[in-house]
Amino acid sequence: MKTPSLARRLLVLVMALVGATWLAAAVYTWVDVRYELDELFDGHLAQAAALLVVQAAEFGDGDDDEVPESPVLHRYAPRVAFQVFHEGRLVRRSANAPMQPMVAAGTPTEHGLARVRIDGEPWRVFVARGAEQDVRVYVGEHEQARSAVLRAVLRGTLWPLALALPLLALAVAWGVHGGLQPLRRLGRTLAARAPADVTPLGVTDAPAEMRPMLSALDGLLARIATLIDGERRFTADAAHELRTPIAAIRAQAQVALGAQDDCERRHALQSVLSGCDRATRLVEQLLALARVESDAAHRGGSGATDLTLLARRIGADLAPAALARQQTLGLEAPDTCASRLNETLCGVLLRNLVDNALRHSPPGAEVRMTVTPDAVLTVEDSGPGLDADARARLGQRFYRAGAAVGDSTTADTTGSGLGWSIVRRIAEREQLDIKVDVSPALGGLRVHVRPLGAARQNS
């Protein structure tokens, strides 16, 4: 079923309102004009009756068989009739008046207006008595005369308006068509756009009613652009990062196939396993990065997040890796620490920070997590640390930080460089401030993570 257009809906609605208003005005005009005409004509009847009462004395006592008739002086005269009775005798009447009183004797109307039927036709009659009570005057008017005058008045008033309705409909249709032109122009603009064009519409001359819709469309296009850019970066990161471990695994597998010595073959297979572990971690990092880039992950968390409980859970997950390297992983936190941060993204951020600290610290190093009551996270280690230039470049695409302070030969420097990129992107989404410096207690790297509001207050 075809849906009617907006222009047709507006036209039908406007014309229905105009038609209903016109009809109501016509009914009101008809009622008001009819009332005013009745008042006017009733006044004329009363005035004519009063004149006849004054002139009744001049009619005389003429012959009973001959009643003089008044001449017809106007084309509407046959629609008006009068009678003058003196002492019960008809002494004067109009040519169209009957011989009997127009209002029969004994009726409730002895004086004033009455509606009667004469020869089956409706009449409006005014009854008046003289001062001597011996004169009785009847002045009547055919009600069709009033209806004819009423129709003439309404015809002259309402017919021009009725003829103007089609012109008004055309004017309204033209106005609606012109008013909806910006919508049609917007539709043509969107239809002509390339699929990959997500630039803002930038329509500055749009009507005020369309601006909220255009703002919403620009916001949607901005979100789509962010999503596309994230997917492009994710694809580029995945292609760039997966190329190295796959090539290394293939090379070590070829060495193992061609090795003649068991020790050489065993070393090559262990390198293959290490390459598989590195590839596994890389895939996990890429999946975490994809989750960060997705709006679904950002909208998934709701409600309060207990940072203390989250830090304990991550510490428990990474404790086996720390024990394997003979490292110490500690936590200082209050019993509970409520925060409005997204629990999923905050967990990914903290896990990456702690995992980086463990991997880039030598065996026997200490890594410490700290949670303050005002929801500030701190991760610090006793590793070699980084110089100021390296700290400033953390989070840049494909950047792998090397040790700049102390000996790093015993630390794991085979990371993909995605961990800090993930941390930076989560910080942007959750409006967190990341500060990296040297740990005064442990001597290695220290990372502060705090909400932007708390960062501005502390600054």
Which single residue is written with the structure tokens 């400033």?
392
Enter the tokens of residue 216. Answer: 């919403």
Where does 300-458 sit in CATH, by number? Answer: 3.30.565.10
Name the burial class of residue 361, with classes exposed (0-12), middle (13-18) and buried (19+) by CB atoms within 10 angstroms of its CB: buried
Nearest to 103, CA basis, from 69, 87, 126: 126
Which single residue is written with the structure tokens 């109307």?
109
SS3 for 367? strand
pTM for this model (two decimals)? 0.47
Q: How many residues appear in the chain?
A: 459
**Mean pLDDT per 10-residue interval, the chain, length 459 residues:** 72 86 85 80 74 63 52 57 82 80 71 80 84 78 81 80 83 83 82 82 75 84 80 70 73 82 84 79 70 54 77 90 90 90 83 88 92 91 83 65 43 58 81 89 90 60
Enter the tokens of residue 172. Answer: 């309204």
Cα separation of the two ends of the chain: 64
pLDDT at 408: 39
Q: Which residues are 269's β-sheet partners?
A: none
Judge contact between 406 and 387, C-beta under 8 A.
no
Which residues, including other chains, have CB under 8 Å from residue 253's CB and lie 6 or more apart? 268, 272
The arrangement of secondary structure in 6-58+75-164, i.e. its CATH architecture, is 2-Layer Sandwich (3.30)
Q: How far apart are CA 303 and CA 184, in angstroms?
A: 43
Q: How far apart are CA 38 and CA 46, in angstroms?
A: 12
pLDDT at 108: 65
pLDDT at 267: 84
Q: Give phi and psi for 370, each to the nearest 5.
A: -135, 135
Dihedral (Cα; 251, 256, 258, 261), 10-degree rounding: 140
Rg (CA), the chain: 51
